[in-house]
Amino acid sequence: MDKFLVRGGKPLRGKIEIGGAKNSALPCLAATLLTPETVTLHNVPYVKDLITQRRLLEDLGATVLTPELRTHKVTARNVDIFEAPYHLVKTMRASVLALGPLLSRFGQAKVSLPGGCAIGTRPIDLHLRAFEQLSAVVSLESGDVVARAPKGRLKGAELEFEKVTVTGTENVMMAAVLAEGRTVIRNAAMEPEIEDLAELLNKMGARIRGAGTPVMEIDGVEGLGGAEHTIIPDRIETGTFIVAAAITDGELEIKSCRPEHLTAVIDKLREAGVEIEELNQSTLLVRRSPAGLRASDVITEPHPLFPTDMQAQYMALMTQAEGTSHITETIFENRFMHASELVRMGAEIHVAGNTAEVIGPRKLMGAPILASDLRASASLVLAALCAEGETLIDRVYHIDRGYERIVRKLRSLGGDIERISSGIAETADEAAGAN
Ligand code: EPZ
């Protein structure tokens, strides 16, 4: 079990390159199952979830070449298995993204029903109901979702999600692109990752309109071809490093990002006393304002509002802000586990239902703490970098799922952090060797 040992109190200074978006690379890799031709994806982040997704594609019979660490050339010509097994789904629930493409191209799919995770039960009922509206027959068989297109090909339909679901929208997009006729998706997710997936699918020959808006129209086609695509930068990694600069009272130049993908985060952090200057359309210069950090309330909502994936990082920052802030989590039912760990470090946080009240500023002291999920891990690393003394963070395998080479990046900025009993390659050449 990896641990991070962090000695806090040092301002982070320097330049950081943002990597590809994990939550775009995952559906885009799944989309390669939709064609027998080769799809080349660039800027795929080297994180554990993508290693898992690659393994899933290979288990299904696809060929995956990585001529460079972050370039995946996938050829799903010989896919002859239509099942995502439990041992992969239990480690990464995004494996459910295999359902849409397998059902779409092969008329059948079997995916282990993903269990819940630390942040919530994470059902996929909305995905399955949407597949049924596209004429699929869906059943549960000893823990597996089994879906079939009765006539071998799905039929387009008008459907409306009763609540916004990001991977649900992505799964239905990939099911609809080869269906017979037109599909209209209402109350579709509008995240930048949805637009990125639509751009890839359209490059492959799909006919999708309205991605990034609440209503998407998809005209099914007979087949899709190969394509080449570069994954968008990770907006959550960008937001995490903005908070890192502010919480350590340092200054960071954040490069290769897309500020327009995290407008709500930038607006909120500016309101909270973070100076964020756009040097150009892909570079931000970030520091804490001289007037200091101010408490500011936030509610997590679907895009384009404040993302739930930035909630934990924001809470860490609010422990250093002057005043009382209220953080309301509306997306997941149990996404405050980082709060109790921050309290162990000296924060004053009171959780009542889906709202956490943070009273600041409070001096954080290093302590042994536990990471519980991907974004909570990031929050605890940020707090440890700001705390006085040593913090030992356990179960950091969570952070390796979504942050590429986080230790190496933070050390390059002056952060005093080291990984103990590392099992993960931290450098590109080590990783290439590991491949
Ligand atoms: C995606 O998860 C992201 N993961 C999550 O990022 C992100 O937190 C989440 O969207 C919300 O933005 C990927 O893209 C791989 P949802 P997803 O379906 O699609 C409920 C990270 O840290 N729901 O939008 O699983 C669900 O329980 C991860 O990178 C149903 O009830 O989230 C939740 O309360 C964590 N039934 C809400 O909807 C369903 O069928 C939103 O979930 C589907 C979802």
Per-residue pLDDT of the chain (435 residues; tens, 9 = 90+): 789 999 999 999 999 999 999 999 999 999 999 999 999 999 999 999 999 999 999 999 999 999 999 999 999 999 999 998 888 888 888 999 999 999 999 999 999 888 777 788 788 999 999 999 999 999 999 889 999 999 899 999 999 999 999 999 999 999 999 999 999 999 999 999 999 999 999 999 999 999 999 999 999 999 999 999 999 999 999 999 999 999 999 999 999 999 999 999 999 999 999 999 999 999 999 999 999 999 999 999 999 999 999 999 999 999 999 999 999 999 999 899 999 999 999 999 999 999 999 999 999 999 999 998 999 999 999 999 999 999 999 999 999 999 999 999 999 999 999 999 865 555 443 443 332
Report, as residue numbers or ranges, the catalytic residues.
117
CA atoms of 195 and 203, how far apart (whole Å): 12
Please choose from 89, 119, 122 the residue to mutate so as to test ligand 1's pocket, defined by most ligand atoms within 8 A of CB. Answer: 122
* Ligand 1, atom nearest to 167 Cα: 19
Element (H, E) at 245: helix 235-247
Q: Which of 371, 375, 247 has its CA nearest to residue 311?
A: 375
CA atoms of 352 and 199, how far apart (whole Å): 41
Cα-to-centroid distance, 311 and ligand 1 (Å): 14
Q: Which phi and psi (to 5°) does residue 133 adopt?
A: -65, -20
Instruction: Identify the residues whose C-beta falls under 6 Å from ligand 1.
Output: 23, 26, 94, 120, 122-127, 163, 165-168, 308-309, 331-332, 374-375, 402
- Residues 84, 110 contacting (CB under 8 angstroms): yes
Cα-to-centroid distance, 169 and ligand 1 (Å): 10
Question: Which part of the chain has CATH 3.65.10.10?
Answer: 3-19+233-434, 22-230
CA atoms of 362 and 344, how far apart (whole Å): 12
* Ligand 1, atom nearest to 163 Cα: 38
Cα-to-centroid distance, 167 and ligand 1 (Å): 7
**Token representation of residue 208:** 């999708």
CA atoms of 197 and 312, how far apart (whole Å): 26
Which amino acid would we find at residue 264? A
CA atoms of 435 and 431, how far apart (whole Å): 6
* Ligand 1, atom nearest to 126 Cα: 40
Neighbours of 62 (CB within 10 A): 21
CA atoms of 112 and 88, how far apart (whole Å): 9
For the beta sheet containing 144-148, the strands, ordered from the edge strand earlier in sequence to the opposite edge, are 83-84, 108-112, 144-148, 137-141
DSSP β-ladder status, 108-112 and 144-148: antiparallel
Q: Report which protein residue has its CA nearest ligand 1's atom 14.
A: 23
Distance set, CA 51 to CA 73, 144, 434 (Å): 14, 23, 11
Q: Based on C-alpha coordinates, what's the Rg of the chain?
A: 21
Topology given in CATH for the domain delimited by 22-230: UDP-n-acetylglucosamine1-carboxyvinyl-transferase; Chain (3.65.10)
State the DSSP code for 295: -
DSSP β-ladder status, 355-360 and 38-42: unpaired
The domain at 3-19+233-434 falls in which architecture? Alpha-beta prism (3.65)
189-190-192 Cα angle (round to 5): 125
CA atoms of 89 and 7, how far apart (whole Å): 36
**Token representation of residue 272:** 């909270």
Three-state secondary structure call for residue 112: strand
